[in-house]
Structure 1
Amino acid sequence: MRVTLALPRELGRPEVSRWRALQEAAPCFDNPFLSPEFTLTVGELRDVVRVAVIHDGPEIVGFFPFERHPLGIGKPVAAGLTDAQGLVHAQGVEIDPLRLIKDCGLAVYEFDHLVSGQPLLSGRHERHPSPIIDLRDGWAHYTDALKLQSGKTYKSTLAKSRKLQRDAGPIRHDYATTDLEPLHTLLGWKTDQYRRTGRTDRFAHKWIVELVERLLATQSESFAGVLDMVYVDGRPMAGHFGLRTRKTLVGWFPAYDPHFAKYSPGLIHHLAMAEQAAGSGIEVIDMGRGQKEYKDKLKTGELEVAEGRVARLGPAAGLHWLMRVPVRKTRATVLANPILLRTADKALKTYGRLRTVLPG
């Protein structure tokens, strides 16, 4: 195995084509966060992004995109934003993870959404479900499964949709639009949601806003930004921005206008989005790791992602362990305990309410 490092912009057309071919050859890599276009776009905005090109003799057998931070700490590209991480490689190739991170100049590589089939994966890493909407057998098959699994939710969502139209006007759904105006409306809702719930506003970072805008402008058969918005009587009610490959759409930034909250606008939107996605050839909607009520109601299957790190012996790895691992384990304990989770969520929402009314 031989590894060469490159900035994303230094990859030529042959390398990008090879990356895409390796990705499309294995279902476990069918996620737009693992597509070359995602890394290339983030690399335009963040100078910490690198790509390890893995060779076996004259042949390229893998690509490992990562961010290199001080002390040799490696993270996934756009760490904290992505729901699928890891390297894209030829099936059957043997890659030593410790040698790989050494050749990348890293002391540690940490991850929280590592996909299956990875040389980086070991038995000590924590596994987490990533719920999906399975559309491989079509929209009708999905709704039949949903009626059996979450029949009450499905029927009540349709009833609320009818009531919404009686109360406010007709519904219109714009799927896969590339207009910036509804995108900015959606991001404004998301910022308000972050503030209300006490979370950090990702869109306070200018580069993340620019990233989303650039991804929306990226439209090809194998990769695209997907923006869709549901309108009521011409007024935007709910929407979502995500990414797709040919067959997989990932959930990324869903949000809605709180004015319509009593009608369950998120569920109305997700069902509308899933129907349109199925009609456009999407076979799986990956809603991403994380416990959310709407995911439990809409899912018809699960993938698996892992959290952990690969580390070489040394002081940088030791310091990283002290700074990150106990915090990660504490967070995992809270997420696994319903009482602790409700308490933490309530505290965050109280903080969010205070933040919206206090000056500064």
Structure 2
Amino acid sequence: MDISVYRPGELSAADRASWTAFQSKAHLQGSPELANPFLAPEFTLAMGHHRRGVRVAVVREDGEPAAFFPFQRSLTGVGRAVGLGVSDAQGLVHRPGFDWDARELLRACGLAVWEFDHLVEGQRPFAADATGGFPSPVMDVDQGYEAYLGHLRSHAPKFTRTTLAKERRLGRDAGEVRYVHDERDPAALRTLMGWKSAQYRRTGRSDRFAQAWITDLVRRLFHTRSESFAGVLSVLYAGGTPVAAHFGLRGERVLACWFPAYDPGYAKYSPGLVLHLRMAEAAAADGIAYLDLGRGQKEYKDSLKTREITVSEGWVTRRHPVAVGHRARRAPVRALRNTVQSRPELFEPADRMLKRLGRIRSGNQ
């Protein structure tokens, strides 16, 4: 293997085209997980504008690209998946049948360790070092919206009936319900980020949009558009007023759900659920195969999903003191978080405490 490492902006047009082609054909070649837009060159390019140390390793065989491995690297050789903490799909994008030695790849990239938290399926050389796998619910719409809705009616009849009834009631009480699948007004994006920030604070979570680089990244992706990739802002209006919105990333076959939020003043109408059903309908009409709701246990995801895929977390390490130190620092934190999240008797009181702290922080005791 011939491995060369580039800054994202240094990739040639031919290399970027090969990367996109691998993703476009992935579902036909038994690797549909590689089609996720978080694995697209556009996401790595955007990350390269806002975070230091973003690189791409291009693996060539007989002079032709065989794989693309995006990563972030510190000066000490600690590697992370691109967008670790905000990206919902990570791994190496490759041609059919390609196999690799994980530690040889790390050596060529100058990494002592590579950490991931959303490794997609089919990454055997990396998955061997995973510390755990986690469900990521999806909404399959490849057979059309009516087929998806039929699945919901048979598997969650009360949920489906109630959500559709709330949409009708929202229209009666607040005015005509209108959905825009690809809203291009930046003001609507600002509204969404404001809602999401308030939600983070209200529930005691860390406010991602308080970090300037995440806000700037989302804005950049909002303006990024090509045939194979786009940042998509979807908005639900009632009586001309936005009541729910979502920003995610669209590939050719996958809509990756990312930042959903709604106006709490309309909570009784469940506008977020109504929005997701409208998103499913529009995505099906656009030829999307499924919506990836992302890792994490949420009641609304359980209600909307048709199945689950698996993402993994862990780290690949070489024999190096930097790798030993990094793993020693990170392993206890991850183990504690995963234990709390996987056990209701621990998660529920922790969640209540966070929400209580959020109310105090927001001045709403």
Normalised by the length of structure 2, the TM-score is 0.96
Fraction of identical pairs, as percent: 51
- Opposite residue 213 of structure 1, the aligned amino acid is R
Q: State yes or no: 1:43 paired with 2:48.
A: yes
Q: Residues 273-330 of structure 1, C-alpha deviation per residue, up to 9 Å, x if partnerless?
A: 1111111211100000100110000000111111111011121111111110111111
Unpaired stretches in structure 1, ≥5 consecutive residues: none
CA–CA separation in structure 1 for the residues paired with 2:120 and 2:261:
26
* CA shift in 2, pair 1:338/1:70, >3 Å: farther
CA–CA separation in structure 2 for the residues paired with 1:158 and 1:276:
16
Q: Residues 260-285 of structure 1, C-alpha deviation per residue, up to 9 Å, x if partnerless?
A: 01111111111111111111211100
Unpaired stretches in structure 2, ≥5 consecutive residues: 27-31
Query: Which residue of structure 1 aligns with residue 37 of structure 2?
Result: 32
- Opposite residue 12 of structure 1, the aligned amino acid is S
Query: Which residue of structure 1 aligns with residue 29 of structure 2?
Result: none
Q: Residues 199-226 of structure 1, C-alpha deviation per residue, up to 9 Å, x if partnerless?
A: 1111112221121111111122100111
Q: 1:125 Cα deviation (Å)?
A: 3.4
Q: Do 2:181 and 2:235's aligned partners in 1 also have CA atoms closer than 8 Å? A: yes
1:82 partner SS: coil
CA–CA separation in structure 2 for the residues paired with 1:43 and 1:256:
30
1:305-324 aligned at under 5 Å gives the runs 305-324=311-330
Q: 1:190 Cα deviation (Å)?
A: 0.3
CA–CA separation in structure 1 for the residues paired with 2:154 and 2:132:
31
Query: Which residue of structure 2 aligns with residue 22 of structure 1?
Result: 22
Query: Which residue of structure 1 aligns with residue 361 of structure 2?
Result: 355
1:37-186 aligned at under 5 Å gives the runs 37-118=42-123, 119-122=125-128, 124-186=130-192
1:242-261 aligned at under 5 Å gives the runs 242-261=248-267
- Opposite residue 193 of structure 1, the aligned amino acid is Q
CA–CA separation in structure 1 for the residues paired with 2:132 and 2:163:
35
Query: Which residue of structure 1 aligns with residue 193 of structure 2?
Result: 187
Q: 1:227 Cα deviation (Å)?
A: 0.5
User: Which structure 1 residue ranges, 4+ long, deviate > 3 Å from structure 2?
Assistant: none
Q: Do 1:226 and 1:242's aligned partners in 2 also have CA atoms closer than 8 Å? A: yes
1:326 partner SS: helix
Query: Which residue of structure 1 aligns with residue 204 of structure 2?
Result: 198
* CA shift in 2, pair 1:96/1:303, >3 Å: same
Q: 1:47 Cα deviation (Å)?
A: 2.4
Q: 1:41 Cα deviation (Å)?
A: 1.3
- Opposite residue 62 of structure 2, the aligned amino acid is G
Q: 1:123 Cα deviation (Å)?
A: 6.6
* CA shift in 2, pair 1:188/1:4, >3 Å: same
Q: State yes or no: 1:12 paired with 2:12.
A: yes
CA–CA separation in structure 2 for the residues paired with 1:232 and 1:25:
40
Q: State yes or no: 1:237 paired with 2:243.
A: yes
Normalised by the length of structure 1, the TM-score is 0.97
Query: Which residue of structure 1 aligns with residue 283 of structure 2?
Result: 277
Q: Residues 103-130 of structure 1, C-alpha deviation per residue, up to 9 Å, x if partnerless?
A: 1111110111000111311175311111
CA–CA separation in structure 2 for the residues paired with 1:46 and 1:337:
34
CA–CA separation in structure 1 for the residues paired with 2:286 and 2:111:
41
Q: Do 1:223 and 1:243's aligned partners in 2 also have CA atoms closer than 8 Å? A: yes
Q: State yes or no: 1:291 paired with 2:297.
A: yes
CA–CA separation in structure 2 for the residues paired with 1:234 and 1:28:
38
CA–CA separation in structure 1 for the residues paired with 2:164 and 2:24:
36
CA–CA separation in structure 2 for the residues paired with 1:54 and 1:80:
26
Q: Do 1:165 and 1:171's aligned partners in 2 also have CA atoms closer than 8 Å? A: yes
CA–CA separation in structure 2 for the residues paired with 1:114 and 1:57:
28
Q: 1:57 Cα deviation (Å)?
A: 3.1
1:112 partner SS: strand
Q: Do 2:130 and 2:313's aligned partners in 1 also have CA atoms closer than 8 Å? A: no
1:125 partner SS: strand
Q: Do 2:24 and 2:252's aligned partners in 1 also have CA atoms closer than 8 Å? A: no
1:278 partner SS: helix
Q: Do 1:9 and 1:44's aligned partners in 2 also have CA atoms closer than 8 Å? A: no
Q: 1:69 Cα deviation (Å)?
A: 2.0
Query: Which residue of structure 2 aligns with residue 3 of structure 1?
Result: 3
